[in-house]
Amino acid sequence: MCTASTTPAPVREGPGPLTGFTIGLTAARRREELVALLERRGARVVEAPTVRIVPLEDDDALRRATRSCLDAPLDYVVATTGVGWRGWMSAAEGWGDGGALLAACRQATVVSRGPKATGAVRASGLHEAFSPGTEASQEVLAWLLGRDLRGRRVAVQEHGAPMEAFAAALRERGAEVITAPVYRWSPPRDAQAVRRLVEAAVHQEVQALAFTSAVAAVALLETAAAAGRREELLAALRTGVTAACVGDLCAQPLLEAGVPVHRPPRARLGALVRTLTEVLPRHGRWGRRPLRSGPHPLVLQGNALLGDGDPVWLPPLPAAVLRALAERPGHVLSRGELLSRAWPGDHADEHAVEMAVTRLRKVLGPHAGLVRTVPKRGYRLADAS
């Protein structure tokens, strides 16, 4: 559900490193935690989970897979995600099979896909024999295929979607594969909110999109494609809207689409937020732009005016006009130039510029004198002083 407006009325609130930036979230899992981290740093957040997680703790398929793991000794166990591994162990405990499943895993060779899965494995009292630093399933598969798998029993904890190719490659080498579908992805509860997020990104009413899973990134692109907006969304992500992903695996669908992606050195939510905090204030389009120097300086950051008092959030269009003027301090911009800079790709006329400037001055209040009219020529930013 979309819980924040992309065109809010200006309000005053405490400053932070992300004040002035509106960030779209596609996450379903740990969404509340990510929202809190971003809002604590001053950002506004638009929530539109592109998929939802359907837990299978009570599902017969997972229960059958668990019982199959207990029918005979396991040789290898693959943990693919931390939340999935913990969910599996918890479900087994609820069925009264928790101790037996842990004992079966303890007798096997455990392989974990990256640090999150490794942490969950260790928290359950087990130790991994191998874990790739990249969190790539292909590295886990390559490690397993380097062993003699004939007649071996391999349990694979799936992570949101069936790992059919992974399991097939193991079976081709003679392994008996048991897949444990701990959770799966389904369409979002609020598809309309996802479409609104696509539109907000296309019109650059959000300054960044944050992704915590590859599935969520794919789902957003598919929603854009269904609306005939895929290429426009990709163009926005390549030029004005920052894409930030929690890790390399999450970033892969966007990288394959030619989108530059910012990633933290460690695949953690806190690290993802720190990356946004470092990148957005320095972004060429949305970064900090001085409007007035001297004893009472004013700065435009994202869509917020920062000065001595509380930040003033500007609606996207007036902010775009002010940003265009701030990009060329001291220069007069004609109405036509402002149209091309603040309304790229939109069908507007010079009257729209006049209306936007009027609205901007109203929102600026005591700072309305920042925007000067130059008769018969256009507008300019007041000289810094």
Q: Which pLDDT belongs to residue 95?
A: 86
- Both tokens of 173, joined, read 């080498």
**Rounded to the nearest 5°, which phi and psi values hold at 215?**
-60, -40
Number of alpha carbons in the 13 Å side-chain half-sphere of residue 297: 8
The DSSP element (H or E) to which 186 belongs, if any, is strand 176-186
Per-residue pLDDT at 55? 66
Q: What is the pLDDT of residue 162?
A: 82
251 burial level (CB within 10 Å; 0-12, 13-18, 19+): buried
> Given this model, what pLDDT does residue 69 score?
97
pLDDT band at 283 (very low <50, low <70, confident <90, very high): confident
Res 158 pLDDT > 80 = yes
Average pLDDT over residues 233-253: 90
**Which segment of 171-175, 191-195, 331-335 scores lowest on mean pLDDT?**
331-335
- pLDDT category at 346 given cuts 50, 70, 90 is low
Does residue 63 register a pLDDT over 60?
Answer: yes
- Predicted pLDDT at 13: 47
Sign of the torsion formed by the C-alpha atoms of 114, 120, 122 and 126: negative
Name the residue with tokens 């008996």. 176
Helix axes 191-202, 214-226, angle to 10 degrees: 80
Q: Where are the alpha helices (DSSP H) in the chain?
A: 31-40, 60-71, 82-94, 98-106, 115-123, 137-145, 164-172, 191-202, 214-226, 230-239, 248-256, 269-279, 316-326, 335-342, 350-364
Query: Of 327 and 383, which is predicted with more confidence?
Result: 327
Question: Tell me: the pLDDT tens digits for 11-51?
Answer: 444 578 999 999 999 988 788 999 999 999 999 999 999 98
Q: Do you know the residue count of the chain?
A: 385
Q: What is the mean pLDDT of the chain?
A: 88
- pLDDT for 9 equals 42
Which of the pair, 276 or 56, is modelled with greater confidence?
276
343 within 8 A of 38, measured Cβ to Cβ: no
**Residue 63 structure tokens:** 């229960």
309 pLDDT more than 50: yes
Distance of CA 96 to the CA centre of its chain: 37
Q: How much is the pLDDT for 10?
A: 44
Q: What is the mean pLDDT of residues 208-214?
A: 90
3: pLDDT strictly greater than 70: no
Of 61-70, 139-148, 295-304, the range with the lowest mean pLDDT is 295-304
Q: How confident is the model at residue 171 (pLDDT cuts 50, 70, 90)?
A: very high
Instruction: Identify which of 199, 203, 186 has the alpha carbon closest to the alpha carbon of residue 226.
Output: 199
Higher pLDDT, 1 or 243: 243
Tokens at 299, concatenated: 């700065």
Name the least confident of 54-58, 158-162, 348-352: 54-58
pLDDT of residue 261: 96
Q: Name the band, by pLDDT with cuts 50, 70 and 90, for residue 58.
A: low
What is the structure's pLDDT at 372? 92
Largest Cα–Cα separation, the chain: 87
* Top-confidence residue, 186 or 378: 378
For 365, the 3-state DSSP assignment is helix
**Amino acid identity, position 146:** G
pLDDT tens-place string over residues 98-147:
999 999 999 999 999 988 899 999 999 999 999 997 778 899 999 999 99
- In the chain, the domains with their CATH numbers are 22-51+188-282 (3.40.50.10090), 56-185 (3.40.50.10090), 289-381 (1.10.10.10)
pLDDT of 174 higher than 50: yes
Distance CA 17, CA 23 (A): 13
